[in-house]
Amino acid sequence: MFPDGRLEMENDRGDIITVRRGVKTTADTRLVTVFSGPLLSHPSGRFEQRDFFVLDPGAAQRESGFHRMFADFVGWDLPKARRFDGRETTLYMETIFPLLYVEQKAGWSSIPAAFPNYLQIRDVGRRAVEFLIGLGTYDLELRRQKLDLDQAENNSAWAAKRGEVQAVAAQANARVQGVPNMPTGVYGLKHDCVL
């Protein structure tokens, strides 16, 4: 990296970008300028430049967010993660990077370095490790939540139908026995059910 905050990078597809972010500047520190070419290797070249934002909500989701652009450049499909408030967000690259380098102040005394907590992502370290080793646990968590929701809906529908059956039976001066309050894993009614 150059003293003025420029860094040239190449991805596995051969695309080269140069990123500039002021180290000490009077400009807005939330902006990162990206040049679509090797500005350091070819300083006389004319390359398209565009500003992207960081440190504001949406930097990993919105088209003008630097984290989204950089994830696309690297070829990462960042997974979703839950925030402390229950909302869904993208797992920011800042949460993955502590696993990829040795922090200079503490060195090897703590691996990984501290994860950023201002993003308010639940189990941020765990989610970052799961992403890097390709576990896909967030998708499994979503599937489990959908199954839990389906089960709750089925329980509610069962209770409503059971109530209807009991109401019809009461009109005929009869009663229902052996029908469980909630559905069970056994298909069909038990043989000892009495209407």
Distance CA 10, CA 16 (A): 4
What is the average per-residue pLDDT within 77-88? Answer: 83
pLDDT at 2: 55
Q: For residue 109, is pLDDT > 70?
A: no
Binned at pLDDT 50, 70 and 90, residue 105 comes out as low
Radius of gyration over every alpha carbon of the chain, rounded to an integer in angstroms = 28
pLDDT at 35: 93
Q: What is the pTM of this model?
A: 0.60
What is the average per-residue pLDDT within 178-185? Answer: 80
Q: Which H or E run contains 167?
A: helix 137-171
45-70 residue pLDDT tens: 899 989 998 888 778 788 888 988 99
Distance CA 55, CA 69 (A): 14
What is the average per-residue pLDDT within 64-87? Answer: 87
Q: For residue 15, is pLDDT > 90?
A: yes
Please return the burial class of 68, using the count of CB atoms within 10 Å of its CB with bins 0-12, 13-18 and 19+: buried
Contact 66, 54 (CB under 8 A): yes
Q: Is 88 helix (H, G, I), strand (E, B) or coil?
A: strand
Distance CA 106, CA 113 (A): 8
Binned at pLDDT 50, 70 and 90, residue 186 comes out as low
